Amino acid sequence: MTIFIELLLIFMFLYMLYQYRDYWAFIVSIFLLGLIMEVLGVNYIHAYDYHGFLLMPFGVPLAIPSGWAIIIFTSIQIIGRSNLSIVLYPFATAFFTLIIDIALDPVMAHAGVWVWKKGLQPSTDFMGIPLYNFWGWFLAGFVVGLSYIFLSNMRKPAWWIYVMWGLSYPILWLSGMFALKYVPYLVMYYVLWGLMLFIGIIVKLYGFTKEVVPQDIVMIRWAFYLTSFIVFFWSGLYATKPYLIVPVVLSLLIEIFGTSMYDVL
C-alpha cells in the first residue's frame, strides 16, 4: 500500500509539472520547501518517521514533498479563480491546504505509513496527530499563497525575491514552533480551529463566482480523499478505529462544497 501511495504521488507531481509547465518554477519551489521542512522534521526535530517507501533521501520519501507541491498548488489554483479580496487569498489557500491534511494524516499515521514520535509536546493532539502538524500545514498554505500573490504581480522578479520567499517559510515555521512550545496548547487548539471556521464562513459568504476550474485540478485533489478511504479499509482501521473516517468525510464534504461553486472544465 505504501508503494502505491508513493507511485501515485510521484505520478501526480510529474503530471502537474508537465500540464502546468508555465508554473514549473513555482511548483518545484514548493517541492523544495517541503523537502527542507521534512528533512528538518525527520532528522533534527525527530518528530516522525516514514516506513516502506522506496525513494527516501535523508530519510524523507520524495513522494511527501511531491504531495506538498500538489496540495498547495491545487489550492492556489482554486482560490485564484474566486472573487475573494486579495487580502484573503493566503488565508483561503491555507484553508484548502489544511482540509486535505486533516483527511490524510490521522488515517495514514494509524495505518503506519508514517509514525509520529514525541516531537515537541505530543500529549495534546487531534486523533493522534500533534497539533503543531496542522499549524505547520496552515502556515505552509498561508506563506505560499502570500508569496504567489506577490510574485504574480511582478513582471520579472529579481533573484533576491525568490531568496526572500524561500526564507520566509522557515522563519514563520520556526516562529510557529516557538508559539506552540510556549503558548498553552488549549489556546492554540481553539485559535486554529476558530480561524478555520472563520475562513470557511468568509469563503462561503464572499468567495466565489462561477469560473472554470480545470477538471484535472479537481480530480487530483479528490485522489487524496480516495486514497484515505482505500487505506482506511485496506489497513483494517474500519474495524479497530472507525472514528478515523470522520475527518475524511467532513473534509471531503468541504471540498465538494468548495469546488461545486465553480464550473469544471
Look at the alpha carbons of 213, 151, 208, 198 in this order and tell me if their dihedral is positive or negative.
Answer: positive
Q: What is the pLDDT along the chain (265 residues), one digit of tens a residue?
A: 788 899 999 999 999 999 998 888 888 888 988 888 888 878 877 778 898 888 998 889 999 999 999 999 999 888 877 777 777 788 888 888 999 999 999 999 999 888 887 655 545 677 778 877 887 888 888 888 877 777 766 555 555 556 665 666 666 666 666 655 555 555 555 566 666 666 665 555 555 555 677 888 889 999 999 999 999 999 999 999 999 998 899 888 888 876 665 555 5
- Residue entry with cell 525513494: 55
How far apart are alpha carbons 50 and 47 in whole angstroms? 11
Residue 8 contacts by C-beta under 8 Å, 6 or more apart in sequence?
A: 223, 227
Distances in Å between the Cα of 128 and the Cα atoms of 29, 101, 139, 149 are 30, 13, 20, 34
First to last CA, the chain: 31
Strand, coil or helix: 80 = coil
